[in-house]
Amino acid sequence: MSVPVNEGKSKGGLSTGAKIGIAVGALVLLAVIVLAIIFLLKHPSTTETIRDLFIIVLALESLVIGTLLVVLVYQLIVLTTMLRDDIKPMIESTQETLNTVKGTANFVSERVTKPAIAASSYASGIGRSINVLFQMLPRRRRSTSGPQPDEETAAEQGGLK
């Protein structure tokens, strides 16, 4: 027997037990707040002491936050200075290097590669032209006593038939 995956869970994704636990926790928190208010109203001297403690804690927190803001501003100043003094010259140097590489590549392309390709194509064309001319020339027949190549192929074809 298979158990459905959503068994014990509502549409919200929380199980019924979890929802009951959250509700009970909220009720306990509400009860503690009500009891604290009643206690503070019945004991004004204790309320003043707690108020003074909270004021001191907030003042210390303000000092810590102010100090951290000063440190943050200092760090921003250091970062801005580093970007201006260190990284900007490196970027400019990199751009100069890239321009040099681009110029070198263009020079090599114009002065070395294109002439080499042209020379290679001319040499290839001349070689092919010579090859075609030699193929067009009539071939000399051998003056040996053996059969000529045309006679050999005719004899072989005749023998195969």
pLDDT, residue 87, reads: 86
Q: Which helix (H) or strand (E) holds 75?
A: helix 44-82
Mean pLDDT value across residues 113-125: 91
Confidence of residue 24 (pLDDT cuts 50, 70, 90): very high
pTM strictly above 0.75: no
Secondary structure of residue 15 in the 3-state scheme: strand
Enumerate the β-bridge partners of residue 15. 9
CB distance 8 to 16 below 8 Å: yes
Q: Does 161 have pLDDT greater than 50?
A: no
Confidence of residue 11 (pLDDT cuts 50, 70, 90): low
The letter for the amino acid at 83 is: L
User: What does the mean pLDDT of the chain come to?
Assistant: 84
Q: Does 91 have pLDDT greater than 50?
A: yes
What is the percent of the chain with per-residue pLDDT over 90, rounded to a whole number?
A: 55
Burial class (CB in 10 A: 0-12, 13-18, 19+), 103: exposed
Q: Which helix (H) or strand (E) holds 19?
A: helix 16-42
Q: Does 96 have pLDDT greater than 80?
A: yes
Confidence of residue 89 (pLDDT cuts 50, 70, 90): confident
Query: What are residue 9's phi and psi, to 5 degrees?
Result: -115, 145
Lookup: tokens for 158: 């005749």
pLDDT, residue 144, reads: 58
| Rounded Cα gap, residues 158 and 161, in angstroms | 5
Secondary structure of residue 100 in the 3-state scheme: helix
Burial class (CB in 10 A: 0-12, 13-18, 19+), 20: exposed
Mean pLDDT value across residues 123-147: 79
Of residues 105 and 143, more confidence is placed in: 105
pLDDT, residue 72, reads: 98
